[in-house]
Amino acid sequence: MRWEHRRRSSNVEDRRGASAGAPALLGLLLRLLPWLLRTKLGRVVLVAGAGIFVGARLLGIDLLPLLSGQPTTVSQPRALSAEEQQLAEFVSVVLADTEDTWQPLFERMGSHYRDPTLVLFSGQVQSACGFAQAAMGPFYCPGDNRVYIDLSFYQDLRHRHGAPGDFAQAYVIAHEVGHHVQNLLGISRRVHEARRQLPAVEANRLSVRQELQADCFAGVWGFYANSERRLLEPGDLEEALTAAAAIGDDRLQRQSRGQVTPDSFTHGSSEQRVRWFKQGFESGRPERCDTFAAERL
């Protein structure tokens, strides 16, 4: 990709080097609660803790977020490597380019595109959707309009899944931004409400349609990144298609379980993910991404 020396997004929040303190503290308190209630010393600790909480409130200090699990971080500064710094710059450029794509597309639809925030984290993170660990992979939280990614995922993408390349990495971001587009269009809310009323297998099938649409929206971004801004170089499209295939449900299940169970798919097969990304990439038209109306996925 020709991403160097391009505009960077100002909507990147770097939490690397910080840890989510609230969930860890709350979990520890819950584990210790039986002992605290059972012993005299424990009851003294509880009374003392309550006194600290009340005293802090009288001084105008709110400790409730720390106990309730709301986003709270404890700073642990560390030096970032040159590779980490370069990846952050790359992510910022890709995010900016998705903004340059979706803002005019929303204007054509008579709507307004609100930029998402992309959060970089290491290991674990607290979001409005709950506590998450890097093993979950990148995700979008509609509750706070944020995309979350631990950049170590790119190492897994390259080494574990056999999908190297900068455009493969860009595809991952564009897919999560695709979920943000769904959120702005009201699609995410409708899917969430529908899934709550469906049995597990049907809910999974609806989730697959939602994920494949995000793949198609990622392809729409790729169309404009290539046709209008000439970001792509020879081989880039193949990198994205390799990445889409690498994280298909069938391939992941075969690697982890040795067998494939289509009824448990939540993101779509490798073939489906590739096809819908290409649908967006070749058309550049969001309306061609209506996976919910498609007879064949």
- Summarize pLDDT for 190-235 with one digit per residue, the tens: 999 999 999 999 999 999 999 999 999 999 999 999 999 999 999 9
Distance between CA atoms of 142 and 13, rounded to whole angstroms? 16
Confidence of residue 22 (pLDDT cuts 50, 70, 90): very low
- Residue 110 predicted with pLDDT over 60: yes
8 A C-beta contact, residue 149 and residue 176: yes
Confidence of residue 68 (pLDDT cuts 50, 70, 90): very low
Confidence of residue 61 (pLDDT cuts 50, 70, 90): low
Backbone angles phi, psi at 50, to 5 degrees: -65, -40
HSE-up of 88 (CA within 13 Å, CB side)? 17
Distance between CA atoms of 76 and 190, rounded to whole angstroms? 40
What pLDDT sits at residue 49? 65
Confidence of residue 75 (pLDDT cuts 50, 70, 90): very low
* Greatest distance between any 2 Cα atoms in the chain: 71
Cα 182 to chain centroid, rounded: 13
**Of 14-18, 175-179, 239-243, 273-277, which gets the smallest average pLDDT?**
14-18
Amino acid identity at 115: D
Percent of the chain exceeding pLDDT 90 equals 74
- Residue 70 predicted with pLDDT over 60: no
265/75: higher pLDDT: 265
Among the listed residues 137, 225, 230, 207, the one whose alpha carbon sits nearest the alpha carbon of residue 176? 137
8 A C-beta contact, residue 178 and residue 268: no
85/18: higher pLDDT: 85
Residues 6+ positions from 145 with CB-CB distance below 8 Å = 114, 116, 117, 180, 183
8 A C-beta contact, residue 271 and residue 288: no
Among the listed residues 193, 176, 114, 172, the one whose alpha carbon sits nearest the alpha carbon of residue 140? 176
Residues 143-186 have pLDDT tens digits of 999 999 999 999 999 999 999 999 999 999 999 999 999 999 99
Domain residue extents for the chain: 12-16+78-289, 21-75
What pLDDT sits at residue 201? 96
Pairing of strands 139-141, 12-14: unpaired
| Both structure tokens of 116 | 């998402």
